[in-house]
Amino acid sequence: MALVLTLVLSLLRLGSGQWQVIGPDKPIQVVVGEDAVFSCFLSPKTSAEAMEVRFFREQFYAVMHLYRDGKDQHNVQMPAYRGRTELVTDSIAEGHVSLRLEKVTLSDTGLYGCWFSSQTNDQEAIWELQVSVLGSAPLVSMTRLIDGGIQLLCESSGWFPQPTVKWKDPQGHDLPSDSKANADRHGLFDVEASLIVQENAGIVSCSIQYLDQSREVESRVWIREVFFQPLPWRLSCILLGVFASVLCVGVIGLTIFFRKLEGKIWAETYWRRKHGAAELRDARKHAVEVTLDPNMAHLQLCISDLKSVSYRNTHQEVILSRKRLLRKHVVASQGFWEGKHYWEVDVGFNKMWCLGVCRDDVNREVTDVTLSPNNGYWVLGRERDDQYFTFDPHRIILSPRTHPTRVGIYLNYEGGAISFFNVNDQSFIYTLTHQFEGLLRPYIQHDVNDEENVTSTEICPVSQESEKEVPSDTDNLEPSPQVTTPFLSRAMP
């Protein structure tokens, strides 16, 4: 019925001289690092030179690229797409445009749309971008001898989405094998498959490809009779000597690697501390007064002096309103439409909290919403297992060098960024970028019981004393000496 209604409405539009927007009719599949091209056109052919043409990500206001008044409007693009898009308008007089998105990343996966608007009509089309990661070439190794046969292992890593791995005989037919796949912390898949072959197997191949068979990588191995012959004792001694030599070189190589890694970690830590301290000093120049709004706090949160929030086991007798949050959160009385603003929050040694900003129009009656930019939240959080996280828009695990007890929050509205700092050691933690719209309010979550959060969470004044640079424990470090080994230098990266 809905399809019939859509067709009827389409016929009515065409009969009245209106046009429709036609976009990609199937998901666009791209490998990480390649460019994606989105094509949209008007049917029937209609000039779009005087129209507004908008390409967006999932939601209408999330602008990827905007064409208006006959030219591109780069100033309204989301930060993630600035410098990565190119609108091809060679056929815009016929209502056909294409948007090129350069160097696609895995985070670009999702829904996209194009929207055309004239004085009399506006229409849009939606499609999906599917991003895949091509893993490493299959590595084939011989693991052991089993009952007169050889067990081969095929391994590959760094795939997305999960691929299939198969062993094939010389004629290309699938061979029975055992396979498994595991996802790493980045969501990429490592796959492997084992196969037992006999003396007359000939050439066998390991093939890894996506389920839709759009991409495939393959490695072949020739199983010769010599693999099944017993090794003479002299050859065994030679192989043992080679193994010992390789082991010795490997130990030396690992020693050099870890010394270089130690120097790299020192350099990164030193840079992060110094860089973070400089950014924090600049952010503190925009310190503002922030007070909590008791009328928008959860019933079990007690607000003291408009600065401190703590948890109570019983509900308070307060005036109920639709503004009051159902989750154990509270927002500030102040809201920001523009400008640069900085404030600090003392979380003490509490185990669970979230800090940041939220849109003023977030749904206050939902208790299980994800604190993601997609839902109007930009936060830094801590969980019971000392794990720090944020959403951008998907969950990201963070690893501050030290546990912060005081967190600095810096909102740059026009710059489309909110940054978090560890005030204790004056280090930078993370920055979320977004094209902000609407009123934003400082936000605090105190969402646990007395056993978890033993102290209150407080908004702290940014005093002159706190603006002095705290000496870093990296300030007195000396660079680690570099170890070089001439006969290994060509093998080092």
Q: Where in the chain is the domain with CATH 2.60.40.10?
A: 19-132, 139-228
Confidence band, pLDDT 50/70/90 cuts, at residue 51? very high
| Average pLDDT of the residues of the chain | 78
228 touches 196 (CB < 8 A): no
- CATH 2.60.40.10, domain 19-132, yes or no: yes
376 vs 373, 383, 415, 431, CA distance in Å? 5, 21, 17, 16
> In terms of C-beta density within 10 A (0-12 exposed, 13-18 middle, 19 or more buried), how is residue 374 classed?
middle
406 touches 356 (CB < 8 A): no
334 touches 469 (CB < 8 A): no
**Architecture (CATH level 2) of domain 271-467:** Sandwich (2.60)
The CATH code of domain 139-228 reads: 2.60.40.10
Q: Is the peptide bond before 161 cis (omega within 30 degrees of 0)?
A: yes
Maximum CA pair distance of the chain? 91
Paired residues of 124 in beta bridges = 115
Q: Tell me the pLDDT tens digit for each residue of 60-104.
A: 989 999 999 999 999 999 998 999 999 999 999 999 999 999 999
Q: Where in the chain is the domain with CATH 2.60.120.920?
A: 271-467
Q: Tell me the pLDDT tens digit for each residue of 350-397.
A: 888 999 999 988 877 676 788 899 889 999 999 877 789 999 888 888
308 touches 457 (CB < 8 A): yes
Confidence band, pLDDT 50/70/90 cuts, at residue 230? low
Residue 232 has a pLDDT of 53
Residue 84 has a pLDDT of 93
Q: What whole-number distance in Å separates Cα of residue 189 and Cα of residue 182?
A: 5
First to last CA, the chain: 63
Paired residues of 178 in beta bridges = 194
Considering only 71-85, 209-223, 298-312, 476-490, which range has the smallest mean pLDDT?
476-490
Of 41, 43, 39, 48, residue with least CA distance to 11: 43
Of 436, 437, 434, residue with least CA distance to 79: 434
Dihedral (CA of 255, 261, 267, 273) sign: negative
Q: What whole-number distance in Å separates Cα of residue 409 and Cα of residue 344?
A: 6
Contacts of 203 (CB under 8 A, 6+ apart): 170, 220, 221, 222, 223
Main-chain dihedrals φ then ψ at residue 492, nearest 5 degrees:
-80, 150
Q: Tell me the pLDDT tens digit for each residue of 237-265.
A: 556 656 665 666 566 666 555 555 554 44
Global pTM reads: 0.42
